């Protein structure tokens, strides 16, 4: 009997089976390939997430988190109790990665502030006088305490730009920098009590110091020797007042001498004359009286002698180094000139110099400046 199936049909069936198996195998390979791509994609996403999560604390998010953590009061303590019970960590991006020198400066201040023997020279009330010295940049949460004759003008220019009053430092007219009606720099004293406390506790705070005696020489030269035309009162009102009270030789007719200035500053009863001079005295009062470093926990203390390193560091720690740069520092201007200091004090009695040092001893001790050689003999 002949078969009812056409010849070769078995081969056709076998071929179709093989085609199906091949197609199924190809399908599995595509699925496997797709699965591999999916795993690689998920790994890349996870890797990116890990990188963002553990990003260096210099990042904006990390900074914000740090500020949040340092400003939340502990359970069971009021905000004021928290503020006075312990030293709040400096705001900004300083601890714990700050270079050792800046941490040592803050530690020195804390130690000197605890020294009861120096209490009268290191502590002062956070009065309106102090609050008037502190300028505010709310946009970037910065407080800057003004210490005249220590590169103060340049820092004010930095804050003026940050506050948006001018687009760049180069475009700020010189007569505007110290005009507080035009420069856009609010003083801390202009805020409410609550606003003041909040800013003092949470903002990045800094100021700059220099050798106290060298600063006094700078103030004397600027205000009484060179005397800018727009500040005639130093030469025509303040200088005569100092001469009348402190000049030994009444027949001397020369203008104010550095010796007269030293006697005035070293007089334990200088305050009655300061009241007559008003706020003009800020150019030679102590850093303690200006910025209250034992009462206000500053984030960074810069030194004029190391300003080339300190200025970029401060900008970076405040989180503004990508927005503004500190103006160029002329070569040699920050170097401590020991010869100049010795020359100015040459011929002044040891008694008068010792009285001057006694008044500024707190500044010397708080900021690590050595007692002058000519007082060690």
Do the beta carbons of residue 153 and residue 306 sit within 8 Å?
A: no
Give 252-304 pLDDT, tens digit per residue: 888 999 999 999 999 999 999 999 999 999 999 999 999 999 999 999 999 99
Please state the pTM of the whole predicted model.
0.73
Name, in order, each residue with C-beta under 8 angstroms of 49's C-beta and a sequence gap of 6 or more. Answer: none
What is the CB neighbour count within 10 angstroms for residue 123? Answer: 14
Cα torsion 99, 322, 319, 182: sign: positive
Compute the C-alpha angle 324/327/328, nearest 5°: 130
Asked if 153 and 214 touch (Cβ cutoff 8 Å), the reply is: no
Average pLDDT over residues 323-339: 90
Q: What order of strands is seen across the sheet that includes strand 134-137?
A: 134-137, 142-145, 204-209, 300-303
Q: How many other C-beta atoms can be found within 10 angstroms of the C-beta atom of residue 301?
A: 24
353 pLDDT band (50/70/90 cuts)? very high
How far is it, in rounded angstroms, from Cα 363 to Cα 377? 21
Beta carbons within 8 Å of 181's beta carbon, 6+ residues apart: none
pLDDT band at 9 (very low <50, low <70, confident <90, very high): very low
Instruction: Give yes or no for residue 95 having a pLDDT over 80.
Output: no
């Amino acid at each position: 009997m002949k078969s009812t199936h056409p010849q070769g049909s078995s081969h056709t069936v076998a071929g179709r089976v093989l085609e199906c198996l091949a197609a199924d195998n190809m399908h599995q390979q595509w699925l496997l390939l797709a699965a591999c791509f999916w795993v690689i994609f998920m790994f890349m996403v996870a890797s990116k997430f890990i990188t963002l999560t553990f990003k260096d604390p210099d990042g904006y998010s990390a900074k914000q988190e740090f500020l949040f953590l340092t400003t939340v009061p502990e359970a069971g303590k009021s905000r004021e109790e928290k503020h006075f019970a312990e030293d709040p960590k400096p705001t900004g991006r300083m601890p714990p990665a700050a270079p050792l020198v800046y941490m040592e400066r803050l530690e020195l201040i804390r130690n000197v502030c605890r020294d009861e023997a120096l209490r009268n020279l290191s502590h002062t009330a956070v009065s309106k006088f102090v609050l008037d010295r502190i300028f505010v940049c709310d946009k970037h949460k910065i407080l800057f305490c003004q210490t005249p004759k220590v590169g103060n003008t340049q820092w004010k220019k930095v804050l003026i730009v940050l506050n948006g009053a001018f687009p760049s430092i180069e475009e700020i007219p010189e007569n505007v920098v110290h005009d507080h009606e035009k420069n856009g720099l609010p003083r801390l004293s202009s805020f409410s009590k609550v606003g003041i406390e909040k800013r003092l506790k949470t903002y990045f705070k800094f100021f700059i110091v220099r050798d106290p005696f060298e600063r006094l020489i700078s103030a004397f030269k600027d205000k009484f020797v060179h005397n800018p035309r727009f500040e005639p009162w130093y030469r025509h009102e303040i200088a005569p007042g100092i001469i009348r009270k402190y000049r030994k030789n009444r027949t001397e007719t020369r203008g104010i001498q550095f010796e007269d200035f030293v006697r005035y500053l070293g007089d334990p009863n200088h305050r009655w004359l300061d009241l007559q001079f008003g706020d003009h005295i800020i150019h030679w009062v102590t850093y303690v009286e200006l910025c209250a470093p034992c009462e206000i926990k500053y984030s960074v203390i810069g030194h004029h002698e190391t300003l080339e390193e300190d200025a970029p560091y401060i900008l970076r720690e405040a989180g503004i180094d990508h927005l503004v740069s500190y103006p160029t520092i002329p070569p040699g201007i920050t170097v401590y000139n020991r010869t100049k200091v010795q020359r100015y004090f040459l011929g002044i009695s040891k008694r008068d110099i010792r009285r001057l040092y006694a008044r500024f001893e707190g500044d010397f001790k708080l900021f690590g400046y050595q007692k002058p050689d000519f007082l060690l003999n």
